[in-house]
Amino acid sequence: MKRYFVYLFFYSFISCHLSVEDKVYNSGIHIIPEPLQLEVRQGVFPVSNSTTLSLENGDWEKEASILMNKLEEASGYKLSFSDNSSNNCIRFKTNENLGEEGYEIEVDDRQISLSAATEKGMFYAIQTFFQLLPAEIESAKPLKMKLSVPAVKIADHPRFSYRGVMIDVSRHFFTVEELKKQISVMAMLKLNRLHLHLTDNQGWRIAIDKYPQLVEYSAVQETYNEELYGPCYYTKEDIKELVAYANRHNIEVIPEIEFPGHSLSALVP
């Protein structure tokens, strides 16, 4: 047993001192969902403060800003726009043949090209680009490391048009901020529908002006020890905020109010 703890301590000590690049989960290329076509090539593209962004025909500024802001938050790099860069450049290009949600990415040691026909396609290209970087890009703490992107050629589009998640907020309430976190992860995984199960026997989670008693009585629950918690529900402003946030992530919010079954929460005094 003593030997076991010695080994455990030694392994923990070594693991804590590995650089980000050496972490096992950062070895290789791991993109979820897996692209339809992925060709791994030789070399890497180093991202730095001197890296520039190039927009074909002036398009893609909104999408480029998503990438720019994320890199600045994660690394402190403040990328700028340039029309004349040929090296050390991330290019946003239009390819009308890629369909509504398709995209292509090509990376070599001089530049990165992101191509799409629509805003949705370019948004998904950017999500894949982020997954080519170390996983710590998602950390709330700034990275203290050099960033590089492996040389690849990717062509991808979704197999299914409807790619959804259903969250039962009637039985298990999520705050708006918690739902936003779910939406951010859904966007990373290229999911595009958020189905909210807003009502059931266990609770009514959406305020309706004409029937205020729905949330007054049915948004409050008993706990295991018969104590009450709540009311837990979404106001109209909450829903507007959530829908706007989802739209920015190319996700449609689908509200569900269940009738006639599973509707005891509607039977208020």
Residue 143 pLDDT exceeds 90: no
Residue 17 pLDDT exceeds 60: no
Q: Is 260:201 a contact under the CB 8 Å cutoff?
A: no
d(CA 168, CA 171): 6
Closest by CA to 98, choosing from 119, 68, 128, 129, is 119
Question: What 3-state class would DSSP assign to 244?
Answer: helix
Q: What CA–CA distances, in Å, run from 56 to 80, 106, 115?
A: 15, 15, 10
Its CATH architecture, for the domain 164-266, is 2-Layer Sandwich (3.30)
- Tally of CA atoms within 13 A in the half-sphere of 75 that contains its CB: 22
Q: CATH 3.30.379.10 region(s) of the chain?
A: 25-156
The share of the chain scoring above pLDDT 70, in percent, equals: 90
Condensed to tens digits (0 to 9), the pLDDT of residues 72-119 reads 999 999 999 988 767 899 999 999 999 999 999 999 999 999 999 999
- pTM to 2 decimals? 0.86
Q: CATH 3.30.750 region(s) of the chain?
A: 164-266
Q: Which fold has domain 25-156?
A: Chitobiase; domain 2 (3.30.379)
d(CA 90, CA 52): 6
Tell me what pLDDT residue 6 has: 47
Quick check: bond before 33 cis, omega within 30? yes
d(CA 196, CA 253): 7
Condensed to tens digits (0 to 9), the pLDDT of residues 189-232 reads 999 999 999 999 999 999 999 999 999 999 998 777 778 888 99
Question: What's the token pair of residue 15?
Answer: 């693991």
CB contact set of 186 (below 8 Å; sequence gap of 6+) = 165, 192, 194, 249, 251
Q: Is 168:229 a contact under the CB 8 Å cutoff?
A: no
CB contact set of 77 (below 8 Å; sequence gap of 6+) = 47, 48, 49, 51, 71, 147
Tell me what pLDDT residue 26 has: 66
